[in-house]
Protein backbone atom coordinates (compact mmCIF):
# COMPACT_ATOMS: atom_id res chain seq x y z
CA UNK A 1 0.00 0.00 0.00
CA UNK A 2 2.91 2.36 0.64
CA UNK A 3 3.93 2.02 -2.99
CA UNK A 4 0.65 3.47 -4.27
CA UNK A 5 1.31 7.07 -3.08
CA UNK A 6 4.87 6.77 -4.40
CA UNK A 7 3.66 5.63 -7.83
CA UNK A 8 1.08 8.42 -7.85
CA UNK A 9 3.76 10.97 -7.04
CA UNK A 10 6.00 9.65 -9.81
CA UNK A 11 3.13 9.82 -12.31
CA UNK A 12 2.31 13.35 -11.19
CA UNK A 13 5.90 14.49 -11.68
CA UNK A 14 6.04 12.74 -15.05
CA UNK A 15 2.88 14.54 -16.18
CA UNK A 16 4.27 17.88 -14.98
CA UNK A 17 7.53 17.16 -16.79
CA UNK A 18 5.73 16.41 -20.04
CA UNK A 19 3.74 19.61 -19.65
CA UNK A 20 6.92 21.60 -19.10
CA UNK A 21 8.53 20.05 -22.19
CA UNK A 22 5.45 20.82 -24.27
CA UNK A 23 5.48 24.44 -23.05
CA UNK A 24 9.21 24.93 -23.72
CA UNK A 25 9.28 23.13 -27.08
CA UNK A 26 8.13 26.18 -29.14
CA UNK A 27 10.89 28.32 -27.59
CA UNK A 28 13.46 25.62 -28.29
CA UNK A 29 12.26 25.31 -31.89
CA UNK A 30 12.46 29.09 -32.28
CA UNK A 31 16.06 29.11 -31.08
CA UNK A 32 17.13 26.14 -33.20
CA UNK A 33 15.37 27.54 -36.27
CA UNK A 34 17.17 30.85 -35.83
CA UNK A 35 20.53 29.07 -35.87
CA UNK A 36 19.89 26.77 -38.85
CA UNK A 37 21.70 27.53 -42.11
CA UNK A 38 19.19 25.47 -44.08
CA UNK A 39 15.74 25.01 -42.66
CA UNK A 40 14.92 21.46 -41.57
CA UNK A 41 11.24 20.94 -40.80
CA UNK A 42 11.54 17.25 -39.97
CA UNK A 43 11.67 15.85 -36.46
CA UNK A 44 15.41 15.45 -36.95
CA UNK A 45 15.61 19.23 -37.20
CA UNK A 46 15.03 19.43 -33.45
CA UNK A 47 18.55 17.99 -33.07
CA UNK A 48 20.34 19.79 -35.92
CA UNK A 49 23.71 18.79 -37.29
CA UNK A 50 26.63 21.01 -36.21
CA UNK A 51 27.39 21.80 -39.85
CA UNK A 52 23.90 23.27 -40.31
CA UNK A 53 24.29 25.78 -37.48
CA UNK A 54 25.19 29.38 -38.21
CA UNK A 55 24.86 32.90 -36.86
CA UNK A 56 24.24 34.38 -40.30
CA UNK A 57 20.53 34.76 -39.60
CA UNK A 58 21.26 36.93 -36.57
CA UNK A 59 24.00 38.88 -38.35
CA UNK A 60 21.76 39.37 -41.39
CA UNK A 61 19.23 41.31 -39.36
CA UNK A 62 21.72 44.06 -38.61
CA UNK A 63 22.71 44.22 -42.30
CA UNK A 64 19.17 45.27 -43.23
CA UNK A 65 18.63 47.97 -40.64
CA UNK A 66 20.11 49.33 -37.44
CA UNK A 67 19.36 46.62 -34.92
CA UNK A 68 20.43 48.77 -31.98
CA UNK A 69 18.32 51.67 -33.25
CA UNK A 70 15.25 49.47 -33.62
CA UNK A 71 15.82 48.01 -30.16
CA UNK A 72 16.17 51.52 -28.76
CA UNK A 73 12.87 52.55 -30.36
CA UNK A 74 11.15 49.48 -28.91
CA UNK A 75 12.67 50.23 -25.50
CA UNK A 76 11.60 53.88 -25.53
CA UNK A 77 8.05 52.98 -26.50
CA UNK A 78 7.85 50.18 -23.94
CA UNK A 79 9.33 52.18 -21.06
CA UNK A 80 6.98 55.08 -21.81
CA UNK A 81 3.95 52.79 -21.80
CA UNK A 82 5.06 51.01 -18.61
CA UNK A 83 5.69 54.26 -16.72
CA UNK A 84 2.34 55.75 -17.78
CA UNK A 85 0.54 52.51 -16.94
CA UNK A 86 2.05 52.30 -13.46
CA UNK A 87 1.40 55.96 -12.62
CA UNK A 88 -2.18 56.13 -13.90
CA UNK A 89 -2.95 52.58 -12.77
CA UNK A 90 -1.84 53.30 -9.21
CA UNK A 91 -3.84 56.53 -9.07
CA UNK A 92 -7.00 55.00 -10.54
CA UNK A 93 -6.73 51.76 -8.58
CA UNK A 94 -6.22 53.62 -5.30
CA UNK A 95 -9.17 55.91 -5.96
CA UNK A 96 -11.51 53.04 -6.89
CA UNK A 97 -10.50 50.92 -3.90
CA UNK A 98 -9.91 53.39 -1.06
CA UNK A 99 -11.62 56.70 -1.74
CA UNK A 100 -15.36 57.27 -1.45
CA UNK A 101 -16.90 59.51 -4.10
CA UNK A 102 -20.12 59.74 -6.09
CA UNK A 103 -20.03 57.73 -9.30
CA UNK A 104 -17.29 55.35 -8.21
CA UNK A 105 -19.34 52.31 -9.19
CA UNK A 106 -20.01 53.76 -12.64
CA UNK A 107 -16.31 54.46 -13.18
CA UNK A 108 -15.47 50.89 -12.21
CA UNK A 109 -18.15 49.61 -14.59
CA UNK A 110 -16.59 51.64 -17.40
CA UNK A 111 -13.20 50.12 -16.61
CA UNK A 112 -14.74 46.66 -16.92
CA UNK A 113 -16.50 47.69 -20.14
CA UNK A 114 -13.18 48.65 -21.72
CA UNK A 115 -12.05 45.06 -21.23
CA UNK A 116 -14.85 43.88 -23.54
CA UNK A 117 -13.91 46.23 -26.40
CA UNK A 118 -11.16 44.92 -28.70
CA UNK A 119 -8.38 47.38 -29.46
CA UNK A 120 -8.93 46.79 -33.18
CA UNK A 121 -12.35 48.46 -32.98
CA UNK A 122 -10.77 51.60 -31.55
CA UNK A 123 -7.82 51.69 -33.91
CA UNK A 124 -9.39 53.83 -36.67
CA UNK A 125 -10.74 56.59 -34.37
CA UNK A 126 -7.49 56.50 -32.40
CA UNK A 127 -5.49 56.86 -35.61
CA UNK A 128 -7.57 59.85 -36.71
CA UNK A 129 -7.24 61.45 -33.29
CA UNK A 130 -3.51 60.85 -32.82
CA UNK A 131 -2.34 61.51 -36.38
CA UNK A 132 -4.77 64.12 -37.74
CA UNK A 133 -5.96 66.02 -34.68
CA UNK A 134 -2.86 65.83 -32.48
CA UNK A 135 -0.28 65.61 -35.28
CA UNK A 136 1.74 62.93 -33.47
CA UNK A 137 2.66 60.79 -36.47
CA UNK A 138 6.26 59.56 -36.53
CA UNK A 139 6.75 60.34 -32.85
CA UNK A 140 7.21 58.37 -29.67
CA UNK A 141 4.24 60.14 -28.12
CA UNK A 142 2.02 58.89 -30.94
CA UNK A 143 3.11 55.32 -30.28
CA UNK A 144 2.76 55.58 -26.50
CA UNK A 145 -0.45 57.60 -26.07
CA UNK A 146 -3.05 54.89 -26.96
CA UNK A 147 -1.49 52.49 -24.42
CA UNK A 148 -0.81 55.01 -21.65
CA UNK A 149 -3.76 53.81 -19.55
CA UNK A 150 -4.19 50.05 -19.16
CA UNK A 151 -7.48 48.92 -17.68
CA UNK A 152 -5.94 45.57 -16.71
CA UNK A 153 -3.39 47.37 -14.53
CA UNK A 154 -6.18 49.42 -12.95
CA UNK A 155 -8.02 46.23 -12.00
CA UNK A 156 -4.83 44.64 -10.63
CA UNK A 157 -4.07 47.62 -8.40
CA UNK A 158 -7.68 47.95 -7.27
CA UNK A 159 -7.81 44.33 -6.15
CA UNK A 160 -4.53 44.64 -4.26
CA UNK A 161 -5.57 47.87 -2.57
CA UNK A 162 -8.82 46.22 -1.45
CA UNK A 163 -6.77 43.63 0.47
CA UNK A 164 -5.05 46.29 2.57
CA UNK A 165 -6.84 46.86 5.90
CA UNK A 166 -8.49 50.27 5.96
CA UNK A 167 -7.16 50.90 9.46
CA UNK A 168 -3.74 51.55 7.91
CA UNK A 169 -5.08 54.45 5.85
CA UNK A 170 -7.19 55.78 8.72
CA UNK A 171 -4.13 55.85 10.98
CA UNK A 172 -2.15 57.75 8.32
CA UNK A 173 -4.96 60.30 7.92
CA UNK A 174 -5.08 60.81 11.69
CA UNK A 175 -1.37 61.64 11.54
CA UNK A 176 -2.15 64.37 9.02
CA UNK A 177 -0.90 62.65 5.87
CA UNK A 178 -2.49 63.68 2.59
CA UNK A 179 -3.95 61.12 0.20
CA UNK A 180 -1.00 61.48 -2.14
CA UNK A 181 1.42 60.97 0.77
CA UNK A 182 -0.55 57.91 1.89
CA UNK A 183 -0.42 56.48 -1.62
CA UNK A 184 3.31 57.10 -1.98
CA UNK A 185 4.54 56.15 1.50
CA UNK A 186 1.97 53.62 2.73
CA UNK A 187 0.06 51.99 -0.10
CA UNK A 188 2.74 51.59 -2.77
CA UNK A 189 5.24 49.68 -0.56
CA UNK A 190 2.48 47.23 0.38
CA UNK A 191 1.50 46.43 -3.21
CA UNK A 192 4.95 45.83 -4.66
CA UNK A 193 3.90 42.42 -6.06
CA UNK A 194 1.09 44.17 -7.95
CA UNK A 195 3.53 46.73 -9.35
CA UNK A 196 5.85 44.00 -10.62
CA UNK A 197 2.94 42.02 -12.04
CA UNK A 198 1.50 45.04 -13.83
CA UNK A 199 4.95 45.95 -15.13
CA UNK A 200 5.51 42.52 -16.66
CA UNK A 201 1.99 42.27 -18.09
CA UNK A 202 2.34 45.73 -19.61
CA UNK A 203 5.88 45.20 -20.89
CA UNK A 204 4.97 42.25 -23.12
CA UNK A 205 2.31 44.16 -25.06
CA UNK A 206 4.17 47.25 -26.33
CA UNK A 207 7.46 45.40 -26.69
CA UNK A 208 5.87 43.03 -29.23
CA UNK A 209 3.36 45.51 -30.65
CA UNK A 210 3.39 45.67 -34.45
CA UNK A 211 0.14 46.99 -35.89
CA UNK A 212 -0.14 50.36 -34.14
CA UNK A 213 3.50 51.45 -34.61
CA UNK A 214 3.23 50.28 -38.23
CA UNK A 215 0.31 52.66 -38.76
CA UNK A 216 1.70 55.77 -37.09
CA UNK A 217 5.42 55.50 -37.94
CA UNK A 218 6.57 55.68 -41.55
CA UNK A 219 9.97 57.04 -40.61
CA UNK A 220 12.40 54.11 -40.64
CA UNK A 221 14.46 55.65 -37.87
CA UNK A 222 11.45 55.68 -35.52
CA UNK A 223 10.17 52.17 -36.11
CA UNK A 224 10.45 49.57 -33.33
CA UNK A 225 12.02 46.19 -33.91
CA UNK A 226 8.84 44.29 -34.79
CA UNK A 227 7.96 46.78 -37.55
CA UNK A 228 11.54 46.91 -38.85
CA UNK A 229 11.66 43.13 -39.12
CA UNK A 230 8.46 43.05 -41.13
CA UNK A 231 9.45 45.88 -43.46
CA UNK A 232 12.91 44.62 -44.32
CA UNK A 233 12.45 40.85 -44.22
CA UNK A 234 12.05 40.63 -48.00
CA UNK A 235 14.77 43.13 -48.92
CA UNK A 236 17.81 41.37 -47.53
CA UNK A 237 19.48 38.49 -49.31
CA UNK A 238 19.99 36.60 -46.08
CA UNK A 239 16.29 36.81 -45.39
CA UNK A 240 15.50 35.55 -48.89
CA UNK A 241 17.88 32.61 -48.56
CA UNK A 242 16.30 31.46 -45.29
CA UNK A 243 13.30 33.67 -44.53
CA UNK A 244 11.99 31.50 -41.71
CA UNK A 245 15.38 31.43 -40.03
CA UNK A 246 15.56 35.22 -40.11
CA UNK A 247 12.03 35.55 -38.76
CA UNK A 248 12.85 33.18 -35.91
CA UNK A 249 16.09 35.08 -35.26
CA UNK A 250 14.11 38.29 -34.91
CA UNK A 251 11.63 36.51 -32.64
CA UNK A 252 14.54 35.44 -30.42
CA UNK A 253 15.76 39.02 -30.16
CA UNK A 254 12.25 40.14 -29.18
CA UNK A 255 11.81 37.33 -26.66
CA UNK A 256 15.08 37.74 -24.76
CA UNK A 257 14.21 40.95 -22.81
CA UNK A 258 10.83 39.61 -21.69
CA UNK A 259 12.35 36.31 -20.53
CA UNK A 260 15.19 38.07 -18.69
CA UNK A 261 12.77 40.46 -17.00
CA UNK A 262 10.59 37.58 -15.85
CA UNK A 263 13.55 35.62 -14.48
CA UNK A 264 14.78 38.64 -12.56
CA UNK A 265 11.45 39.45 -10.94
CA UNK A 266 9.76 36.07 -10.54
CA UNK A 267 10.94 35.64 -6.94
CA UNK A 268 9.18 38.87 -6.01
CA UNK A 269 5.76 37.52 -7.03
CA UNK A 270 4.73 36.71 -3.50
CA UNK A 271 1.80 38.02 -1.56
CA UNK A 272 2.57 40.76 0.91
CA UNK A 273 1.73 40.10 4.56
CA UNK A 274 -0.71 42.96 4.77
CA UNK A 275 -2.19 41.99 8.08
CA UNK A 276 1.15 42.36 9.87
CA UNK A 277 0.92 46.14 9.46
CA UNK A 278 -1.77 46.26 12.18
CA UNK A 279 -0.99 45.70 15.83
CA UNK A 280 -3.07 43.03 17.48
Whether residue 151 is predicted with pLDDT greater than 90 in this model: the reply is: no
Residue 133 lies in a domain: yes
Question: What is d(CA 274, CA 84) in angstroms, rounded to the nearest whole number?
Answer: 26
Question: What is d(CA 257, CA 144) in angstroms, rounded to the nearest whole number?
Answer: 19
Residue 50 lies in a domain: no
Residue 143 lies in a domain: yes
Closest CA to 160 of 110, 198, 127, 211: 198
Residue 55 lies in a domain: no
Whether residue 82 is predicted with pLDDT greater than 90 in this model: the reply is: yes
Domain count, the chain: 1
Which residue has better confidence, 140 or 68? 140
Closest CA to 254 of 218, 213, 215, 204: 204
Residue 58 lies in a domain: no
Mean pLDDT of 247-255: 77
Which residue has better confidence, 101 or 235? 101
Q: What is the pLDDT of residues 157-206, one digit of tens each?
A: 998 888 888 888 888 888 888 888 888 888 888 888 888 888 888 888 88
pLDDT of residue 83: 94
Mean pLDDT of 226-251: 65
Mean pLDDT of 1-19: 78
> Residue 17, exposed/middle/buried by CB under 10 A (0-12, 13-18, 19+)?
exposed
Residue 184 lies in a domain: yes
Residue 190 lies in a domain: yes
Whether residue 102 is predicted with pLDDT greater than 50 in this model: the reply is: yes
Per the CB < 8 A criterion, the answer to whether 142 and 131 are in contact is: yes
Question: What is d(CA 111, CA 184) in angstroms, rounded to the nearest whole number?
Answer: 23
Mean pLDDT of 119-147: 89
Question: What is d(CA 140, CA 74) in angstroms, rounded to the nearest whole number?
Answer: 10
pLDDT of residue 152: 87
27, 200, 201, 202, 271 from 255: Cα distances, Å: 9, 13, 14, 14, 27
Residue 115 lies in a domain: yes
Q: Which domain holds residue 219?
A: 67-224+261-275
Which residue has better confidence, 64 or 5? 5
Q: What CATH number should be reported for the domain holding residue 135?
A: 1.10.3720.10
Per the CB < 8 A criterion, the answer to whether 28 and 48 are in contact is: no
DSSP letter for each residue of 10-43: HHHHHHHHHHHHHHHHHHHHHHHHHHBSS---SG
Amino acid sequence: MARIPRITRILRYAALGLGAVAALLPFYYMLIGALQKKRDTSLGGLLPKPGNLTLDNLAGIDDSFSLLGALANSLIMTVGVVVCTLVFGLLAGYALAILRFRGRGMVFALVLLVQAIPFQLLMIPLYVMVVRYFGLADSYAGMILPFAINSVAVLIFRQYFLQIPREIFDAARMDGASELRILRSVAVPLVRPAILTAMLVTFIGPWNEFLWPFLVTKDQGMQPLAVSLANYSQANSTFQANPMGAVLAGACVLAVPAVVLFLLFQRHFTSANLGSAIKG
